């Protein structure tokens, strides 16, 4: 064992939080201004403007001052009233989990649940909406991270919008790593954050809110106010001329500012392309090595996380422990229903670089072989390199 548990690992390839970009770390070291200093109020407005630009929103997004679980719970608490009929779409642990929050605020919960290696079929959503005209809110997780699978939210969003229902989207681990924006899927509340594909630490929620969602929340007497769960309290906080309901996370805003600059300066399309290429190289390597991905098909596999199915007769935890102890590489486990069944390799922000697919394949294959598997690690690396080099060919010729 070369790398001891209590020393820092060499490479962290998790499905979030991820190691922040070095520039973001420097941003976190900026002065912690007093929140009512005019310089901070102007800075805050500018960070909201950059978030708006990155999220391609026509109105101001809201920043909430806790990691995105705060935003998801706040969305349920603020938008869902006891009279609403909620259709929750569950293709994984996060999608399923949102249903439990929804149930807290309305007893009327319908659900479409599919096996956790599959995606939601829009035709099933269309059929459900037709059979239940009383549905007023639909909730969906875009990238159900514990499964590494993607739901077709733009198609689902068009159906929900035609029905007239509100749409709540969890895009925490997809936004910034692939083409997804609140208005592309007609979301009324779209929750994301800096700690996955934007490569900043956990601590904030970025939320897109449609005008009609603002109206519904403000008309809801049970929507949290004077509370950490409040969204409505923060409606005007973006403005340098308006007070904050309570102290915002100043240092986290410093980090987010840099993360957004990096994203916007590199260019969204270029950022998405390196996420997609890293995942594609990873999947090619996984298959060539003799392993399989967890997702039922490649076309629903996430570009920001690859979940690799654990072969029969091997302990998943032991795989991660061996990868860390032998090579200093950290992966994520599954969660809840997927725990023990798969290992997750994140391609998020700074780790969405194709060479990390090669490192991940080496550490994963090496770890499994140390536990008695007979994987062709070299073939996996060759296959990953072939994918990467095919792409490079386009640039050099």
Can you give the binding site for ligand PLP, defined by CB under 6 A?
16, 67-69, 94, 141, 143, 145, 170, 172-173, 196, 202
How many helices (H) does the chain have, and how many strands (E)? 12, 14
When the beta carbons of 77 and 383 are compared against ligand PLP, the nearer one is 77
CB of 392 to ligand PLP, least distance (A): 30
Coil, strand or helix: which one is 308? strand
Smallest separation (angstroms) from ligand PLP to the CB of 133: 29
Least separation in angstroms between residue 146's CB and ligand PLP is 8
- We find the least distance from the C-beta atom of residue 193 to ligand PLP, in angstroms, to be 7
Nearer to ligand PLP, 173 or 220 (CB): 173
Task: Output 67 or 233, the one with its CB closest to ligand PLP.
Answer: 67
Q: Which residues of 83-110 are buried (b: 16+ CB within 10 A; e: fewer)?
A: ebbbbbbbbbbbbbbbbebbbebbebbb
Least distance (Å) between residue 397 CB and ligand PLP: 38
Angle between helix axes 354-370 and 377-396 (nearest 10 degrees) is 170
CB of 201 to ligand PLP, least distance (A): 11
CB of 15 to ligand PLP, least distance (A): 7
> How is residue 175 annotated by DSSP?
B
Q: Which is nearer to ligand PLP, 142 or 216 (CB)?
A: 142
Chain center to CA of 238: 23
- Smallest gap from Cβ 92 to ligand PLP, in A, equals 8
Task: Tell me the closest approach of the beta carbon of residue 71 to ligand PLP, in angstroms.
Answer: 9
Closer residue to ligand PLP (CB): 220 or 306: 306
Phi-psi region of 147 (alpha: psi -120 to 50; beta: other; left: phi over 0): alpha
Rounded to whole angstroms, the Cα distance separating 122 from 170 reads 17
Q: CB atoms < 10 A from the CB of 37, how many?
A: 12
Nearer CB in complex with ligand PLP: 40/190:
190
Using the minimum distance from each CB to ligand PLP, give the nearer residue, 70 or 360.
70
Determine how β-strand 108-113 pairs with β-strand 189-192. Answer: unpaired
The answer to whether residues 388 and 281 touch, using CB atoms and an 8 Å cutoff, is yes
Q: Quick check: 88 and 135 in contact, CB under 8 A?
A: no
DSSP 8-state class, residue 303: S
Distance CA 320, CA 286 (A): 16
Of 195 and 373, nearer to ligand PLP (C-beta) is 195
- CA dihedral angle for residue 153, residue 157, residue 159, residue 164, rounded to 10 degrees: 160
Q: Distance (Å, rounded) from C-alpha 343 to C-alpha 293?
A: 9
Which of 40/144 has CB closer to ligand PLP?
144
ω before 17 within 30° of 0 (cis)?
yes
């Amino acid at each position: 064992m070369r790398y001891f548990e209590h020393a820092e690992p060499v490479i962290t390839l998790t499905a979030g939080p991820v190691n922040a970009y070095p520039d973001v770390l420097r941003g976190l070291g900026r002065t912690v201004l007093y929140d009512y200093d005019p310089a901070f109020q102007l800075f805050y407005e500018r960070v909201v403007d950059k978030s708006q630009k990155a999220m391609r929103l026509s109105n101001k997004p809201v920043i909430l001052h806790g990691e995105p679980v705060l935003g998801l719970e706040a969305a349920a608490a603020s938008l869902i009233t006891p009279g609403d009929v909620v259709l929750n779409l569950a293709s994984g642990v996060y999608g399923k989990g949102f249903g439990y929050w929804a149930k807290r605020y309305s007893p009327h919960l319908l659900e479409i649940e599919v096996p956790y290696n599959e995606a939601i079929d829009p035709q099933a959503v269309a059929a459900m909406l037709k059979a239940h005209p009383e549905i007023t809110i639909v909730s969906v997780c875009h990238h159900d991270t514990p499964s590494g699978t993607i739901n077709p939210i733009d198609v689902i969003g068009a159906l929900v919008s035609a029905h007239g229902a509100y749409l709540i989207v969890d895009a925490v681990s997809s936004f910034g790593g692939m083409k997804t924006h609140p208005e592309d899927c007609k979301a009324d509340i779209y929750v994301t954050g800096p700690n996955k594909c934007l490569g900043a630490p956990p601590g904030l929620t970025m939320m897109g809110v449609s005008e009609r969602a603002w109206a519904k929340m403000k008309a809801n007497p049970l929507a949290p106010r004077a509370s950490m769960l409040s969204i409505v309290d923060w409606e005007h906080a973006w403005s340098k001329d308006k007070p904050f309901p309570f102290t915002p996370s100043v240092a986290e805003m410093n980090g987010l500012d840099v993360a957004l600059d990096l994203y916007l300066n590199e260019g969204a399309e270029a950022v998405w392309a390196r996420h997609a290429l890293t995942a594609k190289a990873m999947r090619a390597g996984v298959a060539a090595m003799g392993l399989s991905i967890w997702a039922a098909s490649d076309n629903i596999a996430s570009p920001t996380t690859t979940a690799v199915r654990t072969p029969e007769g091997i302990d998943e935890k032991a795989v991660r422990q061996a990868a860390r102890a032998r090579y200093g590489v950290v992966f994520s486990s599954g969660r809840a229903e997927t725990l023990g069944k798969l290992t997750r390799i994140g391609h998020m922000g700074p780790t969405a670089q194709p060479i990390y697919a090669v490192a991940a394949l080496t550490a994963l294959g090496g770890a499994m072989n140390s536990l008695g598997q007979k994987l062709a690690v070299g073939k996996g690396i060759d296959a990953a390199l072939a994918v990467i080099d095919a792409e490079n060919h386009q640039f050099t010729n």
